[in-house]
Structure formats: structure tokens, C-alpha cells
Amino acid sequence: MNRKEFLKRELEDNPNDPLNYYMLALEHKKDNEVLTSKSYFTNLLLNFESYIPTYYTYASYLIELGEELVAEEILKKGLEVAKASNHQKAALEIQGLMDLYF
């Protein structure tokens, strides 16, 4: 069983664990499966808003893809979520990426 198959099985067994979606998004990103990767990231944004790693990682990916406008909006939302949940380190990292590109 390859890593994606394992993660898909984990997702089926634990559909409420955002880590499974996140890891699948990264696996598809690594394999240059852009649409599939983006769909997993989008699912995270819609259904697991408090899963902070999504914001930085997905925005970085979108910047790589030349989708800066969408990336900026995701970073703004991520900064709000990080601050609201008192995740100072995440807020600093997100702000740093925003400062670098926007």
C-alpha cells in the first residue's frame, strides 16, 4: 500500500481529523496533482477553519502557482484565526509570508 492509499484509508476511518486531509493535500502537491491537492486544501478551509497549518502551506502553494490574490486572502483569514486562537508563532509566520509577498 502506498502512502496515498494509506492516508485515504485513514481519512475513511477518521473523516473528522484534519490531519488526514492536510497530509493528502501535501502528497498530491508533491506529485504535482494540482487540482486534487487544491481540493483537499479547500476542504480544510471550509470544514476545519481552526486547523492553522492549512493557511500558510496552502497560501505558499498558491503563490508558487501564481495565484497571489487568492493566497493573500487565505493568509489574511489565517492571521485572523491564528490571533483569535492565540497561536502567536503561527500568526508571526503567516504575517512574515504576507510581508514577503504583499
Q: Which pLDDT tens digit goes with each residue over 34-47? A: 999 999 999 999 99
How many domains, in total, are found in the chain?
Answer: 1
Mean pLDDT of 6-27: 96
For residue 88, the tally of other CB atoms under 10 A from its CB is 9
Threshold 0.85, pTM exceeds: yes
pLDDT score at 80: 98
| Residue 37 belongs to domain spanning | 3-101
All three cell numbers of 38, joined, read: 487544491
pLDDT score at 1: 80
Mean pLDDT of 30-59: 98
Residue 87: name the closest of 58, 53, 60, 43 by CA. Answer: 53
Write out pLDDT tens, residues 70-90. Answer: 999 999 999 999 999 999 999
Q: How far apart are CA 8 and CA 71, in angstroms?
A: 26
Task: Assign residue 50 the CATH number of its domain.
Answer: 1.25.40.10
